């Protein structure tokens, strides 16, 4: 029997599947026959290109390449000359990890330190990943001091003199596998050292045990040797390190063209440190390298690292630590960072290099990982004379703006950051960085604190830092200090002096080295805000002509610009994007429409721009960026802008700044001699002008399309093309750091357009036509009348412009945040986009390094598209009003929409009549539509004879692979939600609960149906006995509403929603008016209180967090499959590989055209990619990495027919999702054996006869178990009335998904995600009895001690008492009560819509830390509130024995006035918050009585 094509069978694209070409010369051809067929098909559909567009729709001149065959990297021959970083290369390596260090404060080398580091590394195994063979690790490694005793023992046996510890460098080298290549490589290495005047003392083969290496790792394993060299010509230790650094760079240059160049790699080359690493699992590292078992291997410190690479063919060199850093995280701005570092190469100079700077270039390598590039930049700063701490502060600055502590106590630290803000763009993204140069060991955390880090110090002079506590067995009585690294914090250990410096001490010492504050005062200028114009600059006809010429439509003006001007926020829309990609459209599009914003998923989180905006900034510096290796006042000679959006007056201020020597470049091209070649010629002239201006000292290039009068034969160059081309040209010519680019343009009015311009190199934009449009709108008779009649809020002409710019700035923050980027200065030039529909010629000219998978327009075709708008301004028959292109809303004569009224009508008819004929008409309607999606360009072809239909897999079996989309109850009605679930259960498919829980009444089959009605579900008809309304797939989304243990155990599948196709990287909101009593009950919240799903999934900040959540869900419901929902984008295959290694059972790829509730138009239109590309890439990447058989691949996005299912099957999908079309059908019209995690402690608990007896017979029992950090998700699998005790350090997710009646006590400490998803029960954590420190000062998570960041995030009913928290406490809380008996971090109660918080404020520092957007602060005046607070503290003291709690109770009268109560509006009238509650109650009763 033939079955639907299975993914595994599609390992290679079938030659029989002839692929059709994209219009506009996209390289998807599979021969001429296919091209003819496509042309016929397009003609048959009646698609006609407008005359101006005709010439751009040729098929010719394209290399044949199948759409399914997506190469990971372009061939070298295709590479342009530019130096810009290539996103394809960057995307192929991403990762996350577990890290830590051990250091001795007396600088005494010992073997025990190495052994402890290896033990700790072994405890990090769950934070790493494994290849398809379940044995090859993604990488682990160890950096230490050089073990001189070990090497002298070797030298002695070789007959060599003892090594001189001060002048000997040791290189740990990966050499080519092939013996001949290895000898060649060794000869080149030795020659470089000799030429540099160094003496090669000898090579040592590193002893190893190959039997412990996994199969994949063994295939790529290098020859591993050490080289010893004597640096006789230098005496200074820093000069020796510099000399070794130069040698390594010279070796890289000398071997660049060798066939084995990629196989030669120095893990380290230093006289102080050495790195042992490889593609090994953590517990294997010490078994593989025999040196690490040798007691002669002694070091005073060790940094260890376990890598989790999302790419599953990791390379040995990419294991960590690197040469200076161990990095857990991801640099989101890496492409921009690499481009800017390349641009700096010409200007970097320092006396320490003695004129040899040219020999150490290039700085950065797109083929290496983000960690390797950050390491090489840090190493450059270090070798140029900076300390490790200073280098980290420059590269990964904290969020220092509006920081109460820094601004009051440490202003010099703020000055340091302000000074370097204009010199070096931050390497932005989640990061825990450990670093050492052999003299200092330290750790720092990114500005968001999105990676866990703990530290502790013992009485015998050891300091430990780790991603988790409990990684090393510890005598708690010796611990004298404990802490956690919060956002932006740092700790350093000076091995020579034994000093341990915590955060502000380190930073103060670095910042005090130079008078940064006075330099800023004397050299940095800021542009003062200039008032908006209060009258129009053009008459109505001129404005209209400009709008037509520059591509505006009536939708752009009315739905986008006017909404922003009147409301100060972006317009929203719903149902998703159902129009063709710009390259497939029959309508001309602005260049911006060919770009899609990239977004964070899995390997790094989105940021929350609303609730956690304190870490974000739109500030940007204008002017020359000088030599960063030197410090001085001249480097501060720049202009600071508070945002990149300028009005006309602010642009004028910049143009009047004589120090900048501004140069205005006009951006028009001349078509009098014909269109072909004219745009290319104009761009070349523009680049030459820019080049000359910068060489003549201009520090500001203003690209302007402003002109006195528009001319028919001089259209404007698309401003994005002009900005990108000049940006790339200046990079290529080493001039980019010398000047800033500002766009003065009519072609920019939406947030996406601003983001594109900034992302491709503009520092600021003056949108003069958009501002003029705002002014014209405000003065129009229609607007004046609406405001006069109260139909629209009254705004002045200045307010309208201010509102527009406010909306743009909010939209920019959202676009940055969806990629996890905090700073606009890091986003500038970072090219965080992918391109759909531009040819390589255009990409190489202006967008070099961006991914453009499907090819597309040439420059001449782009010129024609530009001209098709331009001519509208000069045509006699052009209407006297703007055309409506129908890109947003469907309209006759406008753009084609897939969800059109005709389609809905035909589908309804087929469903209502249950008629094959009616369904055939619906299918014919779909088949005759214009080309709408990429799959419309494909035809299924076969060279085999047809088979009888009886031999094909029956439809009843195929539909079992169908699923419906995750639509939440509330977003759609209860009737629709339940009808879809019952229908899917009847056919054996699966419906999806969406976010927000599920009514338990739906979990049991109906047995009370009569005449199609059931009293259980009285609002439905047509029911049958045996029907169930349960959704087989239960969703865990970022809000985690309604996710209870019972909800999870009733799931057949559990879906983790990482992102939504229609708005990836963003959250959602259910307005308060939609939160009925029924929905509130399901979501454990309050009726009428809005429910917000934050943009980041607060359970997932990294790939290892995702693996942990999958593990937790498998624990709570071992029978359920866990799926992970991703959204198509370039690099999705790499991400999916990581998800597969995280033990997901199903991976879902959503297309950008999925439906959604209300979302910003720019998000719906400009983020996410087509599922055809995402699915193909995912399928092939999983096959390449041997992971395809591990997972089921599901796809969704715009599915409307059986043909869509067949296309998806051919591209590799196993299951198929229907979203919008399922809703339309119901009548809603547009409204496997894997990497084992080792033994599980819960199994030990459940095997205990007393416990199983207690669960069986509902008895009470008390037990004590030892627990270690490798025991994760403890009690996730256990339920019943049990009081349990654990002793030790608990792993992640301790006590997750507890149920009522389950009581746990932990003596010790715990790691992240304690009590995740608790639905009841009790969880107590107390320190061990005899500690050498005060527990209330430590980072013992939960209860008697401090908690970390985001404590009680999304708490809906829980009650908690703790003795201190990190930043963002009580974020998104919707109910319950939290008491904090100590200090809290910043941004308390952001997004808190329900529940109460009581915070003790002993030193009067709380007020500036509270986010007062929603909550109000008051003292605890209500008697019921005082009773609640005291009762919780009494219960807390009884459970934990807390001394702090006991003191508060003893001196209650003195402490009560020091508590603040945080009250959201929904709690203002509660007895606990309202001091006059009784009086209010009485008043309400009187009102009710009188109403009767």
**Which residues belong to the active site?**
97
> E strands within 62-106?
95-104
Calculate the CA 794 to chain-centre distance: 39
Enclosing H/E stretch for 1422? none
The Cα–Cα gap between 828 and 844 comes to: 19
Residue 1370 region by backbone torsions, left for phi larger than 0, else alpha for psi between -120 and 50, else beta: left
For residue 696, give both structure tokens. Answer: 């003549």
Q: Are 545 and 708 in contact (CB under 8 A)?
A: no
Q: Are 1438 and 1449 in contact (CB under 8 A)?
A: no
1062-1088: string of b/e by CB count within 10 Å (b at 16+)? bbbbbbbebeeeebeeebbebbbbbee
Report the DSSP pairing between strands 525-526 and 1192-1196. unpaired
Using alpha carbons, select from 1321, 1392, 1387 the residue that is nearest to residue 1359: 1321
H runs (alpha helix) in 550-700:
554-555, 562-567, 648-655, 678-695
The Cα–Cα gap between 87 and 208 comes to: 36
The Cα–Cα gap between 441 and 465 comes to: 10
Backbone angles phi, psi at 1422, to 5 degrees: -70, 130
The Cα–Cα gap between 1471 and 542 comes to: 63
From the CA atom positions of the chain, what is the Rg in Å?
32
> E strands within 195-248?
199-205, 223-230
Q: Concatenated DSSP letters for 1005-1033?
A: -----BTTB-SSSTT--S--TT-----SE
For residue 997, give both structure tokens. Answer: 């829980």
Q: Are 967 and 1057 in contact (CB under 8 A)?
A: no
For residue 507, give both structure tokens. Answer: 């930073």
Between the alpha carbon of residue 743 and those of residues 252, 704, 727, 928, the distances in Å are 40, 6, 12, 43
**Helix, coil or strand: residue 140:** strand
Q: Are 320 and 371 in contact (CB under 8 A)?
A: yes
Calculate the CA 354 to chain-centre distance: 41
Q: What is the largest CA-CA distance in the chain?
A: 107
Report the DSSP pairing between strands 1033-1036 and 1053-1057. parallel
1398-1429: string of b/e by CB count within 10 Å (b at 16+)? bbbbeeeebeebbbeebbebbebebebbbebb
Using alpha carbons, select from 526, 307, 272 the residue that is nearest to residue 388: 272
For residue 264, give both structure tokens. Answer: 């030669």
The Cα–Cα gap between 802 and 798 comes to: 6
The residues, any chain, with a CB within 8 Å of residue 19's CB and separated by 6 or more, are 28, 29, 30, 34, 66, 67, 68, 937, 938
The Cα–Cα gap between 11 and 1087 comes to: 51
Using alpha carbons, select from 1428, 1456, 1445 the residue that is nearest to residue 1359: 1428
Enclosing H/E stretch for 1208? helix 1202-1210
Report the DSSP pairing between strands 852-857 and 962-966. unpaired
For residue 576, give both structure tokens. Answer: 């998703």
According to DSSP, the residues that pair with 142 across neighbouring strands are 276, 304
């Amino acid at each position: 029997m033939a079955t639907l094509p299975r993914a595994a069978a599609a390992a290679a694209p079938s030659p029989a599947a002839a692929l059709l070409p994209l219009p506009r010369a996209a390289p998807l051809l599979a021969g001429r026959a296919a091209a003819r067929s496509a042309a016929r098909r397009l003609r048959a559909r009646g698609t006609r290109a407008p005359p101006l567009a005709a010439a751009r729709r040729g098929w010719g001149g394209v290399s044949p390449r199948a759409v399914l065959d997506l190469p990971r990297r372009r061939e070298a021959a295709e590479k342009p000359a530019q130096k810009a970083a290539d996103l394809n290369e960057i995307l192929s390596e991403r990762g996350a990890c577990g890290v830590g260090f051990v250091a001795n404060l007396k600088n005494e080398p010992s073997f025990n330190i190495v052994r402890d580091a290896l033990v700790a590394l072994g405890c990090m195994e769950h934070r790493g990943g494994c290849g398809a063979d379940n044995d090859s690790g993604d990488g682990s490694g160890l950096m230490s001091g050089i073990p001189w005793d070990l090497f002298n023992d070797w030298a002695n046996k070789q007959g060599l003199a003892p090594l001189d510890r001060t002048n000997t460098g040791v290189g740990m080298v990966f050499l080519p596998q092939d013996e001949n290549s290895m000898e060649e490589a060794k000869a080149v290495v030795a020659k470089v050292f000799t030429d540099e005047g160094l003496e090669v003392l000898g090579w040592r083969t590193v002893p190893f045990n190959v039997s412990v290496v996994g199969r994949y790792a063994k295939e790529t394993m290098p020859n591993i040797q050490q080289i010893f060299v004597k640096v006789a010509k230098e005496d200074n230790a820093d000069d020796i390190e510099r000399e070794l650094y130069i040698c390594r760079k010279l070796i890289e240059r000398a071997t660049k063209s060798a066939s084995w160049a990629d196989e030669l790699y120095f893990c380290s080359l230093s006289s102080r440190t050495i790195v042992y690493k490889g593609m090994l699992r953590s517990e294997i590292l010490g078994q593989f390298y025999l040196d690490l078992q040798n007691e002669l291997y002694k070091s005073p410190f060790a940094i260890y690292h376990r890598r989790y690479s999302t790419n599953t063919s990791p390379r040995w060199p990419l294991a960590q630590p690197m040469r200076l850093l161990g990095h857990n995280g991801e640099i989101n701005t890496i492409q921009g960072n690499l481009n800017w570092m390349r641009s700096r190469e010409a200007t970097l100079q320092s006396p320490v290099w003695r004129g040899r700077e040219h020999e150490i270039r290039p700085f950065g390598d797109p083929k290496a990982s983000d960690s390797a590039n950050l390491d090489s930049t840090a190493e450059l700063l270090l070798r140029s004379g900076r300390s490790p701490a200073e280098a980290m502060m420059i590269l990964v600055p904290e969020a220092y703006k509006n920081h109460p502590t820094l601004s009051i106590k440490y202003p010099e630290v703020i000055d340091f950051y302000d000074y370097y803000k204009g010199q070096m763009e931050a390497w932005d993204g989640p990061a825990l960085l450990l670093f050492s140069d052999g003299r200092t060991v330290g750790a720092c955390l990114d500005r968001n604190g999105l990676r866990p880090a703990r530290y502790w110090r013992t009485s015998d002079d050891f300091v430990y830092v780790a991603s988790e506590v409990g990684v090393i067995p510890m005598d708690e009585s010796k611990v004298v200090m404990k802490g956690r690294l919060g956002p932006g914090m740092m700790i350093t250990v000076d091995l020579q002096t034994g000093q341990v410096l915590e955060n502000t001490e380190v930073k103060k010492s670095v910042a005090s080295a130079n008078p940064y504050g006075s330099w800023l005062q004397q050299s940095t200028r800021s542009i003062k805000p200039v008032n908006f114009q209060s009258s129009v600059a053009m008459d109505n006809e001129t404005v209209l002509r400009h709008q037509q010429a520059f591509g505006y439509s009536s939708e752009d003006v009315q739905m986008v610009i006017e909404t922003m001007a009147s409301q100060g926020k972006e317009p929203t829309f719903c149902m998703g994007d159902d129009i063709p990609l710009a390259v497939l459209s029959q309508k001309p599009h602005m260049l911006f429409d060919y770009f899609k914003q990239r977004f964070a998923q899995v390997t790094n989180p989105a940021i929350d721009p609303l609730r956690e905006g304190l870490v974000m900034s739109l500030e940007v510096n204008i002017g020359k960026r000088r030599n960063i290796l030197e410090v001085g006042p001249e480097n501060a000679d720049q202009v600071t802008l508070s945002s990149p959006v300028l009005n006309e007056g602010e642009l004028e201020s910049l143009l009047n700044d004589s120090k900048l020597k501004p140069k205005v470049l006009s951006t028009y091209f001349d078509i009098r001699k014909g269109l072909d070649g004219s745009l290319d010629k104009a761009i070349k002239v523009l680049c030459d002008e820019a080049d000359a201006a910068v060489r003549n000292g201009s520090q500001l290039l203003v690209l302007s399309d402003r002109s006195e009068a528009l001319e028919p034969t001089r259209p404007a160059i698309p401003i994005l093309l002009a900005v990108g081309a000049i940006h790339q040209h200046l990079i290529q010519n080493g001039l980019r750091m010398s000047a800033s680019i500002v766009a003065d343009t009519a072609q920019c009015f939406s947030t996406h357009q601003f983001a594109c311009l900034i992302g491709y190199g503009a520092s600021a934009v003056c949108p003069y036509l958009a501002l003029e449009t705002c002014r014209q709108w405000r003065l129009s008779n229609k607007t004046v009348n609406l405001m006069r009649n109260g139909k629209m809020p009254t705004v002045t002409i200045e307010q309208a412009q201010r509102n527009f710019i406010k909306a743009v700035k909010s939209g920019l923050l959202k676009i940055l945040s969806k990629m996890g980027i905090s700073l606009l200065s890091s986003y500038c030039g970072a090219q965080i986009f992918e391109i759909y529909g531009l040819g390589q010629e255009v990409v190489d000219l202006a967008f070099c390094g961006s991914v453009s998978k499907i090819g597309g327009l040439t420059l001449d075709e782009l010129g024609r598209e530009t001209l098709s708008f331009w001519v509208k301004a000069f045509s006699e028959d052009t209407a006297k009003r703007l055309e409506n292109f129908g890109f947003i809303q469907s309209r006759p004569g406008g753009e084609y929409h897939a969800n059109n009224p005709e389609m809905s009508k035909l589908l309804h008819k087929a469903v209502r009549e249950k008629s094959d004929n009616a369904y055939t008409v619906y299918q014919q309607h779909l088949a005759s539509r214009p080309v709408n999606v990429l799959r419309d360009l494909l035809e299924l072809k076969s060279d085999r004879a047809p088979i009888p239909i009886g031999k094909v897999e029956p439809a009843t079996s195929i539909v079992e692979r169908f699923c419906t989309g995750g639509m939440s109850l509330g977003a759609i009605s209860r009737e629709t939600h339940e009808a879809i679930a019952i229908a899917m259960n009847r056919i054996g498919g699966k419906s999806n609960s969406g976010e927000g829980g599920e009514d338990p009444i739906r979990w049991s089959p109906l047995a009370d149906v009569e005449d199609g009605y059931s009293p259980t579900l009285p609002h439905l008809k047509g029911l049958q006995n045996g029907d169930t309304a349960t959704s087989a797939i239960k969703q865990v989304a970022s809000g985690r509403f309604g996710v209870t243990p019972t909800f999870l155990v009733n799931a057949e599948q559990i879906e983790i929603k990482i992102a939504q196709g229609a708005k990836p990287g963003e959250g959602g909101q259910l307005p308060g008016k939609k939160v009925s009593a029924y929905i509130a009950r399901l979501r454990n919240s309050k009726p009428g209180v809005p429910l917000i799903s934050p943009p980041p999934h607060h359970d997932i900040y990294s790939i290892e967090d995702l693996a942990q959540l999958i593990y937790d869900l498998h624990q709570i419901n071992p029978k359920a499959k866990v799926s992970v929902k991703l959204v198509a984008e370039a690099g999705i295959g790499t991400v999916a590989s990581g998800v597969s290694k995280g033990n997901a059972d199903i991976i879902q790829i959503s297309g950008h055209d999925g439906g959604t509730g209300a979302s910003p138009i720019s998000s719906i239109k400009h983020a996410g990619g087509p599922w055809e590309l995402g699915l193909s890439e995912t399928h092939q990447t999983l096959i390449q990495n041997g992971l395809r058989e591990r997972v089921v691949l599901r796809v969704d996005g715009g599915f409307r027919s059986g043909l869509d299912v067949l296309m998806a099957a051919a591209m590799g999908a196993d299951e198929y999702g229907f979203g919008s079309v399922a809703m339309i059908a119901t009548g809603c019209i547009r409204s496997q054996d894997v990497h084992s995690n080792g033994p599980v402690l819960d199994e030990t608990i459940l095997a205990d006869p007393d416990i199983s007896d207690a669960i069986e017979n509902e008895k009470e029992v008390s037990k004590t178990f030892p627990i270690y950090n490798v025991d994760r998700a403890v009690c996730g699998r256990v339920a019943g009335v049990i009081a349990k005790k654990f002793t030790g350090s608990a792993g992640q997710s301790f006590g997750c998904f507890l149920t009522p009646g389950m009581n746990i006590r932990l003596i010790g400490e715990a790691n992240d995600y304690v009590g995740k998803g608790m639905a009841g029960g009790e969880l107590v954590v107390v320190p061990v009895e005899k500690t050498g420190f005060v527990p209330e000062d430590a980072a013992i998570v939960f209860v008697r001690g401090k908690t970390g960041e985001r404590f009680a995030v999304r708490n809906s009913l829980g009650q908690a008492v703790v003795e201190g928290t990190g930043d963002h406490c009580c974020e998104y809380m919707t109910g319950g009560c939290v008491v904090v008996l100590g200090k809290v971090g910043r941004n308390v109660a952001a997004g808190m819509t329900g529940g109460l918080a009581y915070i003790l404020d002993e030193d009067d520092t709380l007020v500036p830390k509270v986010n007062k957007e929603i909550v109000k602060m008051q003292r605890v005046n209500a008697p019921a509130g005082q009773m609640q607070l005291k009762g919780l503290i009494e219960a807390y003291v009884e459970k934990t024995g807390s001394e702090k709690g006991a003191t508060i109770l003893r001196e209650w009268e003195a402490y009560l006035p020091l508590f603040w109560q945080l009250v959201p509006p929904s709690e203002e009238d509660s007895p606990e918050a309202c001091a006059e509650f009784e009086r209010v109650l009485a008043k309400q009763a009187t009102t009710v009585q009188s109403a009767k």
